[in-house]
Amino acid sequence: MTKVSIVQFPGTNCEYDTQYAFEELGAKTELIWHKSESIPSDTDLLVVAGGFSYGDYLRSGAIARFSPVMKAVTEYANNGGKILGICNGFQVLTEAGLLPGALKRNDNLHFISKHHHLKVINNDNIFLKKLDNNDIVNIPIAHHDGNYFIDEDGLRELNANNQILLKYTNVNGTNLNPNGSVDSIAGISNKEKTVFGLMPHPERAMELILGSDDGRAMLQGFMEA
């Protein structure tokens, strides 16, 4: 059985949604408090969940990056462990240098909360292997600082290494950028395809009655990693 460990910071508010989503897919889960100095040895996937760690003071994810658990998270990543950062978790991973780029304030300066379509750009990774390139999924977004930025050299490197995983689009797959992200980027990975980050919330798209169950296919790849 896949073991998913989920990091909690003060201000995290999506850990229980994340726990529910992975347990729905058959995983065993454990919540890891930010003061922990180690990651459970049986962890198959480490998730940095969404929310507002430390109230998003200073800059989203900037304080969480210095929590005791992050030393263990970095060590886990450096040893090839699989990590998924969702929304605030994506912000934390960029602040920690585990993913390239940065997340800035949305270009309209407003918090955005709605379902939004995404296009699968690269599925050559465990995260999206249950989907095909150019598939369109409908996943909730909920962020104030989701504007992904990377410089031109960094963007070329992301493209060269197939690190761009998801882009914001309309239902037909045409770019539709809700927050100003460079090249409409919604999710990326590291070069090794072991660390993943996205602003949308697949853990909130597990039930049709709630608007979409497209998140199931996005997370199922980790069950067979």
Torsion, Cα 20 25 28 29, to 10 degrees, reads -30
Q: How many CA within 13 A on the CB side of residue 58?
A: 11
Out of 14, 95, 116, 203, pick the active-site residue.
203
Out of 34, 116, 143, 201, pick the active-site residue.
201
Query: Is 201 marked active-site?
Result: yes
Query: Is 115 marked active-site?
Result: no
Residue entry with tokens 């460990």: 5
All residues at 6 or more sequence positions from 63 whose CB lies less than 8 Å from its CB, including other chains:
53, 54, 57
All residues at 6 or more sequence positions from 137 whose CB lies less than 8 Å from its CB, including other chains:
117, 118, 120, 131, 205, 212, 214, 215, 217, 218
Out of 87, 95, 116, 117, pick the active-site residue.
87
Query: Is 87 marked active-site?
Result: yes
Which residues are tagged catalytic?
A: 87, 201, 203
